[in-house]
Structure 1
Amino acid sequence: MQPLPVPPAGDPGFTLEEMKQFVIEHFENFVNRKKAEVARQNLSADFLDHDEPSGPQVGPEAAIEMMTELYKKWPDLHVTVEDILAERDKVMVRNTWRATDAASGQKIEFHGFVLWRFANRRIVERWATVTAPRAV
């Protein structure tokens, strides 16, 4: 298996506070408002998602496909940013995800950490870890 190309480093194009606000707005639009298409403007064309559930992916389309499926599975999916830190060209977020499973009606919750790397005013890389969904 060939290694995936890592997007080049570059000036993030934002201050630390601007990067944090960008990530908060990305979550708000991409997850809470269910606007999957914002990935095309927020993620670089060579965006590398190291932790996409189906394996590492390049480009925003895999993220759009994943979220579109989650919108169907969990129609009221909502993420809350609990903590956010920024340093150099990266933003780290601790978040809580809540939803109701469309098939069972069961309310669920899970938690995660996401690390985003920026270059040229776009998100270029993502690493994430999440807990297994649990009934609430």
Structure 2
Amino acid sequence: MGTHKDFFKQFVQFINTADENLAQRLISPVAKFHVPGQPEPAQGPKGYLMVISMMRSGFPDIQWTLEDMITEGDKVAARFTMRGTHHGEFFGVPATGKVIGIQAINFYRLSNEQIIEEHGQPDMLELLRQIGAIPN
């Protein structure tokens, strides 16, 4: 069994590339992903790829960097920086060409070397501010 650090290196590679093979390997078919603004969690590898696709539709070049992580048993708290350029519509806001750099704090639960649950908390207020959807 690898370490959580090794696992999350692969996970960052997955979210930065949307690689379907990595999705199948890293994400449990029964995994639940709690996404802000969505009443029902996304589920399994397809659900996670859908979440990535939603972000990439607004920010096609988005890249995540793992800044920090804390682990306890099967749980991991991770802080990411997301960087990308607003080249597509996002939450109803037309493309602005503005570059974003925002933080996300996500909480994961792992089982059998796969993600089984995630609670994602991207700083949506800062993202919307950076693309000009809300005033500074």
Match of 1:135 in 2: 130
Structure 2 counterpart of 1:48, which letter? K
- Structure 1 residue runs without a partner (length 5+): 1-13
2:18–2:49 CA contact under 8 A, matched in 1: no
Residues 11-30 of structure 1: CA distance to partner in whole angstroms, max 9, x if unpaired? xxx46xx1222112211232
Q: What percentage of aligned pairs have identical amino acids? A: 24
Structure 2 counterpart of 1:51, which letter? V
Structure having the higher helix fraction is 2
TM-score (norm 1): 0.77
CA distance in 2, matches of 1:64, 1:30: 8
Aligned length: 120
Whether 1:39 and 2:31 are equivalent positions in the alignment is no
- How far does residue 37 in structure 1 lie from its aligned partner after superposition? 4.7
CA distance in 1, matches of 2:37, 2:101: 17
Match of 1:99 in 2: 84
- Say which SS state the counterpart of residue 105 (structure 2) adopts: strand
Residues 67-91 of structure 1: CA distance to partner in whole angstroms, max 9, x if unpaired? 1232232111011111111110111
Match of 2:107 in 1: 115
TM-score (norm 2): 0.77
Distance 1:38 1:53, change over 3 A: farther
- How far does residue 51 in structure 1 lie from its aligned partner after superposition? 2.8
- How far does residue 98 in structure 1 lie from its aligned partner after superposition? 0.9
CA distance in 2, matches of 1:69, 1:94: 20
- Give the alignment's Cα RMSD to 1 decimal: 2.0
